[in-house]
Amino acid sequence: MSSFTYDWPYIGLGAALVLAALLATDVLRGDRSVSRWRDLVWLARAGRWPIPPTSSRSTASTHQAATTDSVAPSARPWAFLAGPAAALLGRRWPSIALGYFSIPFVNFFAHVGPGVAKHAYNPGQVTAIVLLLPLSLWAFYVALDRYRLGWRAVIATCGGNRAACDSHGIAGRFS
């Protein structure tokens, strides 16, 4: 095996540390007149942070049983591309920044649903419960309260990924 296979998680950890340092400054904020936690642009950038750079399958590949329960990592490229794009466009159109949160929201169900259905732990389940769901719910609250985007925008964000769930086979993992 190449050394890159073993070094990749540490490269991702380094990138996560740089992103964490940037999130602590005002560089990534869209509106400095409000708290970071009430700024959808900052939340979209912070929402990218809990999605780990390594695949659930690659970390679980040594355990045959865990491989079958792991979540399809196909949403990961969208998180890398959609997060920064949503944050950049979210300065002008907050609904685009809100739209990014369909990825972590659906990712929550992709990790927790199979674990509940099979009464077993799978990689990413704790991250989904502790980080992805609270961050998504908070972004929905900010969209409703501060940006007044309305329930239709939040419901579209929550349900807008139905086709993505079906195409990635997430719905089939519950049976």
pLDDT per residue as tens digits for the range 117-160: 999 998 889 988 998 899 999 999 999 999 999 898 888 888 76
Q: What is the pLDDT of residue 118?
A: 92
Express each pLDDT in 31-55 by its tens digit.
Answer: 888 888 899 888 888 876 555 544 4
d(CA 164, CA 29): 29
**pLDDT(71) > 50:** no
pLDDT tens for each residue of 81-95? 777 888 888 889 998
The answer to whether 58 and 118 have CB atoms below 8 angstroms apart is no
Q: What is the pLDDT of residue 140?
A: 93
Query: Which of 127, 156, 160, 133 shows the shortest CA–CA distance to 144?
Result: 156
What is the residue extent of each domain of the chain? 3-174
Count the neighbouring beta carbons within 10 Å of the beta carbon of residue 97.
31
Pairwise CA distance, residues 142 & 42, whole Å: 12
Distance CA 67, CA 65 (A): 5
pLDDT at 124: 83
Q: Which residue has the higher pLDDT, 173 or 115?
A: 115
Q: What is the dihedral of CA 154, 159, 161, 164, to 10 degrees?
A: 180
Q: What is the pTM of this model?
A: 0.69
Any idea what DSSP says for residue 149?
-
Query: Which has the higher per-residue pLDDT, 154 or 68?
Result: 154
